[in-house]
Amino acid sequence: MIQFFIGDNIVVRNKQIQKLIKTFSDSNTQIFYLNGDSNETSLLEYCGGQTLFNESVCVVTHSFLEDENRENFFIQEVEKLHLSETHFVFVERDIKSSTKTFLTKNKINIEKYFSDTKKPIQSFNPFSLGDALLARDKKLLWVLYEKAQRPDGSKESLLFFELK
**Superfamily of domain covering 2-112:** P-loop containing nucleotide triphosphate hydrolases (3.40.50.300)
96-120, pLDDT tens digit by residue?
Answer: 888 888 888 888 888 888 877 665 5
When pLDDT is cut at 50, 70 and 90, the band that residue 121 belongs to is: low
Q: Is 33 helix (H, G, I), strand (E, B) or coil?
A: strand
- Residues 141-148 have a mean pLDDT of 82
Count CB-CB contacts under 10 A for residue 49.
Answer: 14
Query: What is the pTM (predicted TM-score) of this model?
Result: 0.64
Range(s) for CATH 3.40.50.300 in the chain? 2-112
Determine the Cα–Cα distance for residues 89 and 32; give it in Å rounded to an integer: 10
**Which pLDDT value is given to residue 160?**
55
Do the strands 87-92 and 109-112 form a parallel or antiparallel pair, or are they unpaired? unpaired
**Helices 127-135, 155-163: inter-axial angle, 10-degree rounding:** 30
46-73, pLDDT tens digit by residue?
Answer: 776 666 666 788 888 888 888 888 888 8
> Residue 136: which residues within 8 A CB-CB, separation 6 or more?
none
Specify the amino acid at residue 10. Answer: I
148 touches 161 (CB < 8 A): yes
| Residue 27 DSSP code | T
